[in-house]
């Protein structure tokens, strides 16, 4: 997943080795640093931390950030710089320079805000987290001020209005200018005084409602313990005469526990319900105020799908194609339920995740413990290194960090080095569990790439966060197949950041439309599931034996069990998100819409007195873009099948992939990037077919198993 890509300024409005590669003299612009070592060893061997590793510095090498107080200093510098840039923007005549100044302004604020955004959630030291939080708040206030700065906006508007100058700009510059303007517009800057005030107030109200709704999605529901049969009460946290139900207990083998949890956890809370209704209505008002039909129309501008009509078409077609397969999956689950529990034969929504995992286990019996020894973290990192080097001419090296540069001893810093172009950027790997660390696999942009005024390229810096177990005395860190796939996924985001060579940081790497952002990461999952790729690195950490091909095949096939039903569920969520953010006032209550949509796009019955939508936290962050993941997956699937399935190490395809897709970050319309890669313009049907054909059993494996 991608950390809440905040686009600052105006933008953000939105809240928005093996082998010593170049050592042989391959003509790299930069020589390999002596402090670089092979990436695999850096993860499997306990790194000796030289205490005298150079001078003292601050977090990410920012000198001020050697102590929490440094955030104040960094923030003050950024604010000062931004004020100067605002003046400069306002006194510069229309031309490409305006876009550059805006990007510098955005960069000055992002450099601190993005870094602080990461530190405030991940730093083990409370004082650092607090200082970072404060910096975020202050920069946020500045951003709000800039977003409503009429004079600043005017300088951009003049540029956009000047057709001659606009026509002379390169496409990336034009797009970035438009993106900056788009972010201004949502604050209603183009409106008259009264409407602008209204927009500002709506923005504030929406932010508050979002926070309130998010908090509400996690709150447990309480119930008098006597309502539940005594033998299942122990599953829930007791609080005097009450039981707390804090989740769906979806994996619990006891049908009754899951049923109880479902009905209690999803029991509608009146406050949360009105919060949601108000949120949806306010979003709609804001969108209309600034000139859109619906919130979805606004949210989808600039995306791959472009508009809600296309999204709806995509989801409806996908649902049609899935429905028969989904029915079959539900029948299999029902049979299993009857087999285990004959008196209770109707498949209910609380059964789906549980019985699909039972079926998967029965059919394939994948024991992660049998796979882990083949996936030491070091081996996986070497695998990635080898893949990137064959495909893209890129090597990963572990670089010694300086004192104060990282927030925990176990962080590894990787230098990403191209065989001809030299150093491309840095990935900080925050891979290991530690107390209070958020449990989330995630990619964070800490610094965006951009072409500086002096002609040098500002190298991108990112953090990858995972929650892997530490190595032990007797074994290195061993990954389950799921963790390995996640590692590949997150490295896909990181490579997008490293290879995006945009002129502007506003569109660096993963700062691209949401429905395109997951393409590079999901594509990496296809590589992670291909035997030819896995076979390059999966070796038993004790014996050195390779992972047998049959084990990889079984793993891949096991993922297809009930996959149609799982995808159908995602379609249902995505449709719901579209309707909620579509035409207002809504025709029915959100719960009635849920019921109707569930019946039409999912198939398992709605349960009276439940309101799942009140737990749908993604409505906040994704608002009208929950479909993005499915669409990104469709594109990744097409790219895989057409470009890499035949030969996952095809260098020519790797170069095309870099040139057509990764290099542009968000600086090019996403559908044009897809067309460049596939060398054709895919239809909605192609998107749907790609997703559905992935569900088919692999014939070879099927025969082998029968
Ligand atoms: Zn992702």
**CA 645 to CA 661: how far, in whole Å?**
18
Question: Would you state the torsion angle of the CA atoms of residues 382, 385, 389, 394, taken in this order, to the nearest 10 degrees?
Answer: -150
pLDDT of residue 4: 40
Task: Tell whether the model's pLDDT for residue 24 goes beyond 50.
Answer: no
CA proximity to 654, closest of 672, 677, 682: 677
Ligand 1 centroid distance, CA of 67 (Å): 31
**CA 692 to CA 676: how far, in whole Å?**
23
Report which listed range, 25-34, 191-200, 587-596, is most confident. Answer: 587-596
The mean pLDDT of 600-615, rounded to a whole number, is 97
Ligand 1 centroid distance, CA of 492 (Å): 8
1-5, 121-125, 294-298, 635-639: least confidently modelled range:
1-5
Query: Do residues 379 and 537 lie in contact, with contact meaning Cβ atoms separated by under 8 Å?
Result: yes
Ligand 1 centroid distance, CA of 497 (Å): 12
**CA 688 to CA 579: how far, in whole Å?**
20
The mean pLDDT of 357-362, rounded to a whole number, is 92
Which residues lie below 8 Å from residue 365, measured CB to CB, with a gap of 6+?
none
The mean pLDDT of 189-206, rounded to a whole number, is 89
Instruction: Indicate which residue of 490, 557, 660, 669 is catalytic.
Output: 490
3-state SS class at 328:
helix
Ligand 1 centroid distance, CA of 343 (Å): 42
The mean pLDDT of 100-108, rounded to a whole number, is 95
105-119, 175-189, 575-589, 651-665: least confidently modelled range:
175-189
Task: Tell whether the model's pLDDT for residue 471 goes beyond 70.
Answer: yes
pLDDT of residue 606: 97
pLDDT of residue 703: 53
Task: Tell whether the model's pLDDT for residue 665 goes beyond 70.
Answer: yes
Phi, psi (deg, nearest 5) at residue 464: -110, 125
Query: Do residues 537 and 386 lie in contact, with contact meaning Cβ atoms separated by under 8 Å?
Result: yes
The mean pLDDT of 131-154, rounded to a whole number, is 90
Ligand 1 centroid distance, CA of 552 (Å): 23
Calculate what percentage of the chain has a pLDDT beyond 70. Answer: 92
Which residues lie below 8 Å from residue 118, measured CB to CB, with a gap of 6+?
3, 444, 446, 463
DSSP H or E run through 36: strand 36-38
Ligand 1 centroid distance, CA of 115 (Å): 19
pLDDT of residue 14: 28
Active site residue 490: yes
Ligand 1 centroid distance, CA of 520 (Å): 9
- Name the β-bridge partners of 239: 242
**CA 411 to CA 511: how far, in whole Å?**
24
pLDDT of residue 700: 60
Task: Tell whether the model's pLDDT for residue 472 goes beyond 70.
Answer: yes
Ligand 1 centroid distance, CA of 616 (Å): 19
Ligand 1 centroid distance, CA of 518 (Å): 5
The mean pLDDT of 2-14, rounded to a whole number, is 36
pLDDT of residue 365: 85
Which residues lie below 8 Å from residue 418, measured CB to CB, with a gap of 6+?
28, 392, 393, 394, 424
pLDDT of residue 15: 27
pLDDT tens-place string over residues 62-91: 999 999 999 999 999 999 999 999 999 999
**CA 47 to CA 144: how far, in whole Å?**
44
The mean pLDDT of 194-205, rounded to a whole number, is 90
Query: Do residues 368 and 469 lie in contact, with contact meaning Cβ atoms separated by under 8 Å?
Result: no
pLDDT of residue 698: 76
Ligand 1 centroid distance, CA of 32 (Å): 31
pLDDT of residue 47: 52
Task: Tell whether the model's pLDDT for residue 308 goes beyond 50.
Answer: yes
Which residues lie below 8 Å from residue 390, measured CB to CB, with a gap of 6+?
649, 651, 654
Sheet holding 242-245, edge to edge: 221-224, 242-245, 237-239
The rounded mean pLDDT for the chain is: 91
Report which listed range, 147-151, 237-241, 385-389, 436-440, is most confident. Answer: 385-389
Ligand 1 centroid distance, CA of 1 (Å): 3
pLDDT tens-place string over residues 247-302: 999 999 999 999 999 999 999 999 999 999 999 999 999 999 999 999 999 999 99
pLDDT of residue 465: 96
**CA 512 to the chain's CA centroid:** 11
Q: What is the DSSP letter of 389?
A: H
Ligand 1 centroid distance, CA of 225 (Å): 40
**CA 354 to CA 489: how far, in whole Å?**
25
Ligand 1 centroid distance, CA of 670 (Å): 17
Calculate what percentage of the chain has a pLDDT beyond 90. Answer: 83
CA proximity to 465, closest of 408, 420, 387: 408
The mean pLDDT of 137-155, rounded to a whole number, is 89
Ligand 1 centroid distance, CA of 2 (Å): 5
Task: Tell whether the model's pLDDT for residue 29 goes beyond 50.
Answer: no
pLDDT of residue 551: 94
pLDDT of residue 145: 86
Question: Would you state the torsion angle of the CA atoms of residues 179, 459, 120, 247, taken in this order, to the nearest 10 degrees?
Answer: 70
What band does 702 get if pLDDT is binned at 50, 70 and 90?
Answer: low
pLDDT of residue 424: 97
Report which listed range, 4-8, 144-148, 211-215, 359-363, is most confident. Answer: 211-215
Instruction: Report in angstroms the alpha-carbon separations of 589 from 269, 280, 579, 580, 646.
Output: 14, 12, 11, 10, 50
Ligand 1 centroid distance, CA of 519 (Å): 8
Task: Tell whether the model's pLDDT for residue 50 goes beyond 50.
Answer: no
Ligand 1 centroid distance, CA of 630 (Å): 12
Provide the residues around ligand 1 (an ion) whose CB is within 5 A: 1, 521
The mean pLDDT of 357-363, rounded to a whole number, is 91
Both tokens of residue 276? 């949601």
How many CA atoms lie less than 13 Å away from 649 in the CB half-sphere?
13
> What pTM value is reported for the model?
0.92
Both tokens of residue 653? 């395809």
- Name the β-bridge partners of 41: none
Query: Do residues 395 and 17 lie in contact, with contact meaning Cβ atoms separated by under 8 Å?
Result: yes
- Name the β-bridge partners of 573: none
């Amino acid at each position: 997943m991608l950390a809440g890509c905040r686009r600052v300024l105006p933008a953000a409005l939105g809240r928005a080795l093996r082998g010593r590669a170049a050592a042989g003299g391959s003509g790299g612009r930069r020589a390999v640093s002596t402090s670089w070592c092979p990436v695999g060893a850096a993860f499997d061997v306990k790194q000796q931390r030289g205490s005298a590793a150079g001078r003292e510095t601050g977090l990410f090498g920012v000198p001020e950030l050697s102590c929490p107080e440094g955030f104040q200093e960094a923030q003050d510098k950024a604010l000062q710089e931004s004020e100067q840039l605002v003046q400069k923007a306002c006194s510069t005549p229309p031309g490409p320079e305006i876009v550059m100044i805006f990007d510098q302004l955005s960069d000055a604020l992002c450099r601190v805000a993005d870094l602080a955004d990461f530190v405030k959630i991940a730093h083990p030291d409370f004082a650092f987290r607090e200082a970072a939080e404060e910096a975020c708040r202050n920069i946020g206030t500045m951003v709000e001020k800039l977003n409503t700065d009429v004079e600043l906006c005017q300088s951009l508007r003049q540029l956009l209005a000047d057709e001659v100058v606009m026509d002379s700009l390169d496409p990336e510059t034009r797009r970035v200018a438009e993106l900056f303007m788009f972010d201004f517009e949502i604050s209603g800057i183009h409106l008259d005084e009264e409407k602008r005030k209204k927009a500002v107030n709506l923005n504030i109200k929406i932010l508050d409602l979002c926070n309130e709704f998010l908090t509400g999605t996690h709150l447990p529901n309480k119930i008098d313990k006597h309502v539940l049969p005594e033998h299942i009460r122990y599953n829930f946290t007791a609080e005097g005469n009450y039981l707390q139900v804090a989740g769906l207990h979806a994996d619990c083998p006891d049908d009754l526990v899951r049923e109880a949890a479902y009905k209690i956890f999803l029991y509608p809370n009146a406050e949360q319900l009105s919060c949601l209704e108000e949120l949806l209505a306010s979003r709609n008002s804001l969108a209309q105020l600034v000139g859109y039909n619906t919130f979805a129309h606004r949210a989808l501008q600039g995306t791959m799908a472009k508009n809600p009509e296309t999204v709806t078409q995509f989801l409806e077609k996908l649902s049609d194609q899935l429905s028969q397969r989904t029915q079959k999956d539900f029948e299999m689950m029902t049979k299993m339920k009857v087999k285990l529990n004959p008196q209770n034969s109707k498949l209910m929504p609380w059964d789906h995740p549980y019985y699909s995992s039972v079926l998967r286990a029965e059919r394939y019996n994948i024991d992660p413990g049998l796979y882990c020894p083949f996936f030491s973290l070091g081996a996986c990192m070497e695998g990635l290194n080898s893949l990137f080097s064959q495909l893209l001419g890129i090597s990963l090296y572990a670089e010694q960090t300086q004192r104060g540069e990282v927030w925990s001893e176990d962080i590894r810093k990787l230098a990403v080095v191209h065989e001809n172009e030299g150093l491309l950027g840095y990935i900080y790997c925050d891979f290991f569990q530690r107390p209070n660390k958020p449990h989330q696999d995630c990619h964070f942009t800490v610094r965006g790439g951009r072409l500086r005024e002096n002609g040098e390229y500002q190298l991108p810096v990112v953090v990858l966060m995972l929650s892997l177990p530490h190595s032990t005395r007797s074994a290195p860190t061993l990954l389950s197949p799921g963790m390995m796939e996640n590692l590949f996924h997150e490295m896909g985001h990181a490579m997008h950041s490293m290879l995006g060579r945009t002129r502007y940081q506003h569109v660096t790497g993963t700062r691209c439309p949401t429905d395109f952002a997951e393409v590079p990461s999901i594509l990496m999952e296809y590589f992670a599931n291909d035997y030819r790729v896995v076979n390059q690195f999966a070796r038993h950490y004790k014996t050195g034996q390779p992972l047998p091909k049959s084990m990889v095949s079984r793993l891949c096939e096991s993922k297809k069990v009930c996959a149609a039903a799982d995808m159908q569920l995602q379609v249902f969520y995505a449709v719901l998100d579209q309707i909620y953010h579509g035409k207002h006032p809504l025709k029915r209550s959100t719960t009635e819409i849920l019921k109707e949509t569930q019946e039409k796009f999912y198939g398992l019955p709605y349960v009276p007195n439940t309101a799942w939508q009140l737990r749908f936290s993604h409505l906040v962050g994704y608002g009208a873009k929950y479909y993005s993941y499915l669409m990104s997956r469709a594109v990744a699937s097409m790219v895989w099948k057409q470009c890499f399935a035949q030969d996952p190490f095809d260098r020519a395809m790797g170069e095309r992939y870099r040139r057509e897709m990764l290099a542009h970050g968000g600086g090019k319309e996403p559908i044009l990037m897809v067309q460049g890669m596939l060398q054709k313009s895919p239809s909605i049907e192609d998107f749907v077919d790609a997703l559905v054909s992935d569900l088919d059993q692999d014939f070879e494996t099927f025969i082998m198993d029968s």
